[in-house]
Structure 1
Amino acid sequence: MPSPIPISRFLPRSLTPTKSLRPCSSPNQFQGCRFSYAKPSRALQRRFWCTVIWDELKLLDLLGSGGFGWVYKGTYYGQIVAIKKVRKCVKNKLAARQSFWAELNVAHLLHENIVRVVAATTSVPANPEDEDSVGTIIMEYAGGTSLDHRIYNCTEPLGMRGCLTFSHDIVSGLSFLHSHHIVHLDLKPANVFITEAGRCKIGDFGCSLKLPIGCDLTPTGQLRHLAGTYTHRAPELLKGGRATLKADIYSFAITLWQMMSRDQPYSGDRQCVMYAVVAYNRRPTFSTIFDESSLGRGIRSIISKCWECEPNRRPSAVELLENINCLEAQL
């Protein structure tokens, strides 16, 4: 279950959350400035802490839709952005709100392999179309191509070099998230975006969790996390266990396998697949491409370690990044 973040966390102490203030804005948004990774001054952070200027926000194209809302391409202060409108879910209103707040787990973080939040608010202009809105999130536009599209809809395979380059980007982003005690919990090719420069950025944090500082797993009393995509969900989560940082490492293993194999990890009934993963340690099958070279065998070894059944036997993101660097050195 995504961890809700109190509105007060995004507001100066002197202010209280009201609709007119349009609360929950991220300090990564600045009027008249280009969005960058440079840390803003405290003065700028305070100045635009609580402001989303709707007149500067323009919707262009619908990029996609899901159970909790729509994502549009648009502009904010003349710059291309992605706008996510989270809507109330009739069947599960609480889940929609949790998804919105989970997206803001990364609102204060800046990293080249993470889709950054520009601004976010729970308030919307008076518009009948937005009556069922939970909130709006303005994000960096990371490009119109996902890793999923690159794997399955392009004639050219990624090749060893492409797989390792993309893996380096993804694991670098994971390492950064994990250093801030954030677990993504829905890492898969569809949630990895490829920029025009050919770099990967992790996005869609609607299932993410902020873990307690000094602890790499959710507290015993917290409700168990059941969100995410079952084909990439770690077996301990399929069993209803507590979420840890190592759950993302398992998801990365499935993702890397997809990059290499260009195939779907499983086929058949969902419940049967989940049971086989948990009870019989079922994993996707390695094709001959993994045995044709030393690099292929090295990638196979990394995948095998990352999708171990026991979380503590999987490498950390830092260790994984070192292993990928060693393979890249062989290119």
Structure 2
Amino acid sequence: MCANLHWRALSAHDARLDLEKLCKLLRDRDIKVQEQAIETIIQRNDPETMKYLSAVLHDEAEHARRAAVEVLNKIGSAAAIKELLESVKDADWWVRARSADALAKIGGPRVVKAVVELIKDDDEFIRRSAIEILNSTRDEQAISHLIDALDDSDWWVRERAVDALANIGNKAATPALVRMLKRDEKAVPVVLRALAKLGDERVIHAVLEQLKRPVPEIQLEALHTLGELAGSENAAGICEVIVKYTDKAASEVREAALEVRDRLQDKFSAAASLTRMVSKPASAHADETLAMSMLQNPDEAARIPAPAPQSLANLDINRLQPGEMIGDRYRYVRRVGRGAFGTVLLVEDEVISESLILKVLHPQMASDEDMIKRFVQEMRLSRKITHENVIRIYDFLNIQGLLAISMEYFPSSTLAVSLEPREPLPVEAALRYAHDIAKGMAAAHETGVVHRDLKPGNVLINNRGVLKIVDFGVAAARAAGDQQLTRTGILIGTPKYMSPEQVLGKPVDARSDIYALGIMMYEMLAGTLPYSGEDQMAVMYQHVQGKARPVSEVNPNVPRTLSAVVAKMMALSPEDRYQNMEEVRRALAGFID
């Protein structure tokens, strides 16, 4: 009845209906009321419109945000868009992101044109917001403005402009990106990724130059880019040069170079020249000369200097050879892996004659004193966890200038590997795994430790089906940085398994781990995650909305009663979930024979 009254009032263009009430009608779910409100607001084109439109733009309901942008598509200007962005400047980051997302996905040419003008605004927040919007619109009319933004004083604007140019995919941006390689070292990895995406072979010589920088992150990105850019005519030369350039680099860089070489050799195996060249020693002068002539500009054909030597002040784990000693107790066996916070080594403890794992923390993490203090505090708690389903942590060590964690060695693969086929696990297996995780986490929670990053990649399973949870220590480090952003502006964590409270930056407790286990159970039972999207922001947004299909609808083999258990674990509010892992364990035990 109310909607009909609004409709009649709007149809008659009731002069008494003020602008504020009109903007509120943009939230109306009656499409006729909403469309008439949009039309009326556009016709009025009142200079006060933006004052009331901002609240609608960051409304939780998508239909309301869409209506607000429809108005902007007709009457929006750079000043109007700026006013709207300024209205959410001090709001929660989630509100700001939601508003920008609506402008990007629904905004038409008028909105894009207005946003482009804001790239040069004096306000850093406005420039950042404009770049984020253009990153999603992928509109070619913004190219020249984005190229100008590569010189911005703010690193965020510069690097996100690089991303935006890569997303647009126009090779006209290539020369500007190559120039950026020479003047902005910190942005080099981002630029290299963009060049790989653009696929312009003309930049190969410039990418090769990056291999001479003694920075593993840059070298690894350069190798990846070369692998993407190589064609049948230059693959042989690239294979020759990357092996030479990385001969004295860190082990992970040397390994990556060999992987790229082998991949190119397989890809272009039909070319006889490739087979002949990669089979010859890298030191052969004739091959070196030929490779250089193929790949470098005439002005850059001078002899290539070897990479600068690495610092030997502390132990260099990248140069360890099997059998070498780490300190006076651990004999190096092999490198197991490398993650966001540390490099994982398999070693033999010469004192107790047992194999164990050393996780050596990355220098950038070890240099943060506050983070290390909190890390050590939670390590003390983590050492108290003695449970068959939790990897045992032994000690926190300082070895030859490096900080490391020693822990139990458990030959296994991760649950993530079992889920790679993207097919549901047998219900019985999913229940058993979830039950074991709940048991291990219950023991951890009893000691006061919250994992904060529970996910399939942190669950190990051996060939006998024994399951153990790992990386409590790393989770402690994440806790210290929960509210920090990485250089690319993404929250530290794993968005696919983040609880709503983590996404929103609210306090985290044991119930956040219960939510993560609920997401993992859903994935095991459905063969797919409950929430997915084109980017991390889209996934995090869905976690906060909480509109996942019941897992029993995705996989009819899942009993509805079990589906209800999973749904309760994934409840939006911590108060609506199981309140502790023991409750979860008991609920799951009822389904296990």
TM-score, length of structure 1 as denominator length: 0.68
Output the CA distance in 1 between the equivalents of 2:423 and 2:550: 22
Aligned to 1:88: 363
Larger relative contact order, structure 1 or 2 (CA cutoff 8 Å, min sep 6): 1
- Write the mapping of 1:181-260 to structure 2, written as runs, cut at 5 A: 181-208=448-475, 227-260=492-525
Q: Which of the two has greater helix per residue?
A: 2
For the Cα contact (< 8 Å) 1:119–1:138, is it kept in 2?
Answer: yes
Specify the alignment match of 1:113 in structure 2.
389
Give the deviation of 1:325 after TM superposition.
Answer: 0.6
Deviations 1:267-303 (A, max 9, x none): 312112222322x224377365532353xx2331111
Task: Please state if 1:148 is matched with 2:419.
Answer: no
The residue number in structure 1 matching 2:303 is none
SS in 2 for 1:253: helix
Q: What CA distance in whole angstroms lies between the structure 2 residues aligned with 1:275 and 1:157? A: 25
Aligned mate of 2:542, from 265, 276, 291: 276
CA spacing shift, 1:148–1:113, aligned 2, 3 Å: same
Write out per-residue CA displacement over residues 19-43 of structure 1, whole angstroms, 9 at most, x where no aligned residue. xxxxxxxxxxxxxxxxxxxxxxxxx
Residue 98 to residue 263, structure 1, CA distance change in 2 (3 Å): farther
**C-alpha displacement at 1:178, in angstroms?**
1.4
Corresponding letter in the other structure for 1:234: S
Distance in 2, matches of 1:141 and 1:90, equals 23
Distance 2:514 2:481 in 1: 22
Amino acid across the alignment from 1:230: P
Question: What is the rounded CA distance, in whole Å, between the counterparts of 2:371 and 2:341 in structure 1?
Answer: 6
Report the equivalent of 2:440. Answer: 173
Q: What secondary structure does 2:591 align onto?
A: helix
What residue identity is the alignment partner of 1:138? S
- Say which structure is richer in strand: 1
How many angstroms does 1:138 deviate by? Answer: 1.1
Does residue 325 in structure 1 map to residue 592 in structure 2?
no
Q: Is 2:589 the counterpart of 1:310?
A: no
Asked if 1:299 corresponds to 2:562, the answer is yes
Q: Is the 8 A contact 1:87 1:96 kept in 2?
A: no
Give the deviation of 1:142 after TM superposition: 2.1
Rounded to whole Å, the distance in 2 between the matches of 1:284 and 1:275 is 16
Give the superposition deviation at 1:93: 3.0
**Structure 2: which amino acid aligns with 1:270?**
Q
- TM-score, normalising length: structure 2: 0.40
Q: Give the secondary structure class of the aligned counterpart of 1:115.
A: coil
Q: Equivalents in 2 of 1:160, 1:200: separation in Å? A: 17
Q: Work out whether residues 83 and 138 of structure 1, in 8 Å CA contact, stay in contact via their aligned partners in 2.
A: yes
Q: Which structure has the larger Rg?
A: 2
Output one character per residue of 1:62-112: Cα deviation in whole Å (capped at 9) or x when no partner.
221122220112222332211100122179835763685344531122111
- The unaligned stretches of length 5 or more in structure 1 are 1-52, 126-130, 211-217
Does the residue aligned with 2:568 lie in a helix, a strand or coil?
A: helix
**Conserved 8 A contact 2:381-2:447:** no
User: Which amino acid in the other structure matches residue 309 of structure 1?
Assistant: L
Aligned length in residues: 255
The residue aligned with 1:31 is none
Q: Supply the distance in 1 between the matched residues of 2:427 and 2:537 (Cα, whole angstroms).
A: 33
Q: Give the conservation status (yes or no) of the 8 Å contact 2:550–2:567.
A: no
Partner Cα separation in structure 1 for residue 481 and residue 527 of structure 2:
35
Q: Secondary structure at the match of 2:331?
A: strand
Identity %: 25
In the superposition, relative to structure 1, how do residues 161 and 108 fare at CA in structure 2: closer, same or farther (>3 Å)?
same
Shift of 1:203: 0.6
AA aligned opposite 1:111:
H
CA distance in 2: counterparts of 1:234 and 1:54, whole angstroms: 41
Paired residue for 2:405? 137
Question: Which of 415, 423, 430 is 1:163 aligned to?
Answer: 430
Structure 2 gaps, min length 5: 1-325, 485-491
